[in-house]
Amino acid sequence: MSDDRLVELLGSLRYERLPRAADERVRRRLVEEWDARDAVGRGLLRALLPVAATLMLVLGATVATVTAPGDSRLYGARVAIEDAAATLYPDGPARAAYLLGLYEQRQAEAARLEAAGSAAAAAARAIEQRTLARLEALLAGPPDPETQAGAQPSASPSGSPSPTPSPTPSPSPAPTPTPSPAATSRPLPSSASPAIITTPRPTPAPTKSQSPLPTAKATPTPTFNTADPSPTAGPVLLKGQVKGADGLPAVGACVSLVIERCDTRTGAEGEYTRAAHAKTGQTVTVYAWRTDSTGRIIEKGLASAVVRGTLVELPDIELRPR
Amino acid sequence: MRQGGSGGIAGQAIRLTLDEGGIGGDAALVAAARSGDAAAFGELYERHRDAVYRFCLARTGSAHEAEDLTSEVFVKALRAIARYQERGVPFVSYLYRIARNAAIDRSRSRRPTLPVEDAASLDSGQDVEREAIQGTDRATLLAALARLKPDHREVLVLRFVEGLSGPEAALMLGRTEGAVRILQHRAMQRLRCAFAEVEAEAGGGGRR
């Protein structure tokens, strides 16, 4: 058989066609397959539609809840969710950082509602205070080894604000009532632990803390800053008291880290507690002022302190006429 | 639907099918079929039905088996059309691949070779011209083709049955033109041997 004959024979195959009967069988089968495929698709869609709708509903409700403003009915649910989420942070510093963020956010929400004259402001403020108390309890819970050791900067090069409990007895000042005037001269909230109250700290001299504005800054010692090799910002609680020019507690005075933005007000004894982010060795300055009925600042003052632990007690702020 | 006809018309129809079945023409239909357009899949079937049938016929040597295989190829293509990915080769080569795999699956479950006597009784259509060709030679050819290696059989089908050019066959087979030329040369040698073998067997069978 020659190649030409083979090619001719092969070419004859090109006239082959799928027989009509077979073609019709194939078509019927394809139609059935297509319909079955569509039915599966429709069935799947029908099955998935309620699931998708439910998911959308849950997602929408979740988003609405977690973004609910303070005057929304969902705010309580949002607060509960956010509070519960704190348990997701097992270690103290991470939880404190989370609570601090929460506190600042709730504080801002309460301030916003107050500014708007909303009836929900009081409730928002109560929530804010509850958050603060929780944060305070967390930060004050375990004794700070650094403050226990007498807050000697050179003795604690790490400067870590970690609230790890340390049962090591302190060789320096015993946890007896401190002679420090800053720690004893003002009332402290009941939530503050004895360790904090009695912790001896290198507080600035009383004369400096009560001096007029230009001299009230307690400048950090350079040795303290250099003693901390890797300071990282962490949550700290600032506590202090504000007094008027007459030496009496200044009730309802504004306290802030930024002047002219009132985010905390002093209590009945002129005391204040405020959360902030700060590094160990950093100097924090707290401003306080009072305004008249028009909102003009009539008295102001400030106090500074070096951060040595998670609780920073500032010298008393004396308000002086502007 | 094209069924048979004169050689010239059929030849034109084949060229038309191949041209329309090019990458561009099929791509739009495949895309439509993937998105659920049944008519688009129907058009793909119309375009490639006969080519797939011939491919299956050359593979199996039996009209009945080729019909079943053709049906299986299109059903599998329909089920897989949503997953089909354009890779720069004609859609029909995808169908050939399905056909090749389906034929292999079938050959595992049963004897694929067809006795020459069965092939000789093949009656696949109404083509008068085809019927004029010597039935014995055609049956022997189909039996011989069924004995070839798949790539030898495919290159012969593409070049001499489907009438593809060297570059077109190279594209379909995923080889270079030079490789296709060599493959075609070897395939013709093998076909010649196989044809002689089948003829000898048929002659021996006839003498018994």
Contacts of B1 in chain A (CB under 8 A): 23
Phi, psi of B171 (to 5 degrees): -65, -45
Query: Per-residue confidence at A116, pLDDT binned at 50, 70, 90?
Result: confident
A251-260, B38-47, B180-189: least confident range:
A251-260
The reported pLDDT for the residue numbered B11 is: 38
On chain A, the residues whose CB falls within 8 A of the CB of B7 are: 15
Instruction: Reply yes or no on whether the pLDDT at B17 is more than 50.
Output: no
pLDDT at A92: 74
Angle at A211 between CA A208 and CA A277, to 5 degrees: 65
What architecture is the A180-321 domain classified under in CATH? Sandwich (2.60)
**Structural contact between residues A174 and A149, judged by C-beta atoms closer than 8 angstroms:** no
Q: Is the pLDDT of residue A251 over 70?
A: yes
Concatenate the DSSP letters of all residues of B74-129 into one string: HHHHHHHGGG----SS-HHHHHHHHHHHHHHHHHHHS-----HHHHHT------HH
| CATH label, B7-207, candidates 3.30.413.10, 3.40.50.850, 3.30.420.40, 1.10.10.10 | 1.10.10.10
Per-residue pLDDT, averaged over A192-204, amounts to 38
Structure-model confidence comparison of residues A129 and A217, the more confident one:
A129
Give the per-residue pLDDT at A72. 86
pLDDT tens per residue across span A137-183 = 877 665 444 434 333 343 334 444 444 444 444 444 444 444 443 33
- Lowest pLDDT segment from A60-69, B73-82, B126-135: B126-135
Name the residue with higher pLDDT: A244 or B2.
A244
Shortest distance between the Cα of A14 and any Cα of chain B, in A, equals: 5
Given the cut 0.95, state whether the ipTM is greater than it: no
Q: Are A277 and A260 in contact (CB under 8 A)?
A: no
Contact A17 B3 (CB under 8 A): yes
Q: Does A45 touch chain B (CB under 8 A)?
A: no
pLDDT of residue A162: 41
pLDDT tens track for B103-160: 888 877 765 444 444 444 445 444 555 555 556 788 888 889 988 998 999 999 999 9
B76 touches chain A (CB under 8 A): no
Range of lowest pLDDT (A6-20, A151-165, B154-168): A151-165
What pLDDT is recorded for position A309? 81
Find residue A303's DSSP bridge partners.
Answer: A286
Residue B186 confidence (pLDDT) above 90: yes
Residue B2 in contact with partner chain A when CB distance is under 8 A: yes
pLDDT at B202: 76
Residue B201 or residue A224, greater confidence:
B201
- Assessment of whether the complete model's pTM goes beyond 0.90: no
Read off the pLDDT band of A185 (50, 70, 90).
very low
HSE-CB at B157 with a 13 A cutoff on CA atoms is 29
Q: Does A36 touch chain B if contact means CB atoms closer than 8 Å?
A: no
Task: State how far the alpha carbon of A125 is from the alpha carbons of A79, A240, A318, B37, in Å.
Answer: 12, 20, 26, 62
pLDDT over 70 at B20, yes or no: no
Mean pLDDT of A109-123: 86
Q: Are A99 and A238 in contact (CB under 8 A)?
A: no
Q: Where are the domains of chain A?
A: 75-140, 180-321
The model's confidence at residue A220, banded by pLDDT at 50, 70 and 90, is very low
pLDDT for A117: 85
Instruction: Tell me what the pLDDT averaged over chain B comes to.
Output: 77
Cβ A16–B50 below 8 Å, yes or no? yes
Longest pairwise C-alpha distance within chain B: 59
Cα–Cα distances in angstroms (integers) from residue A217 to residues A214, A283, A303, in the given order: 7, 9, 6
Nearest CA in chain A to B2: A17
Q: Collect all residues of chain A within an 8 Å Cβ-Cβ radius of residue B10.
A: 14-15
Is A18 in the B-facing interface, judged by CB distances under 8 Å?
yes
Give the model's pLDDT for residue A93.
74
pLDDT (tens digit, 9 = 90+) per residue, A69-102? 888 888 888 899 988 888 888 777 788 888 888 8
pLDDT classification of B72: cutoffs 50, 70, 90: very high
Confidence of residue A221 (pLDDT cuts 50, 70, 90): very low
To the nearest 10 degrees (0 to 180), the angle between helices B135-147 and B38-60 is 90
- Count Cβ–Cβ pairs < 8 Å, chain A vs chain B: 107
B-interface mutation test, from A15, A25, A27, A35, most B Cβ less than 10 A away = A15
User: Of B112, B113, B115, B80, whose CA–CA distance to B94 is shortest?
Assistant: B80
Name the pLDDT band for A321 (thresholds 50, 70, 90). Answer: confident
3-state secondary structure B37-80: CHHHHHHHHHHHHHHHHHHHHHHHCCHHHHHHHHHHHHHHHHHH
Find the mean pLDDT for residues A267-294: 86
Give the pLDDT of residue A315.
93
Q: What is the mean pLDDT of residues A57-79?
A: 88
User: Residue range B155-177: average pLDDT?
Assistant: 89
Interface check A25 vs B, CB under 8 A: yes
Question: What pLDDT score was predicted for residue B110?
Answer: 62
Give the model's pLDDT for residue A175: 41
User: Across the interface, do B188 and A3 touch by the CB < 8 Å criterion?
Assistant: yes
Give the domain ranges of chain B.
7-207
Q: CA geometry: angle at B145 spanning B143 and B150, to 5°?
A: 135
Q: How remote is the C-alpha of B195 from its chain's centroid?
A: 18
What is the C-alpha to C-alpha distance for residues B87 and B186, in angstroms, rounded to an integer? 28
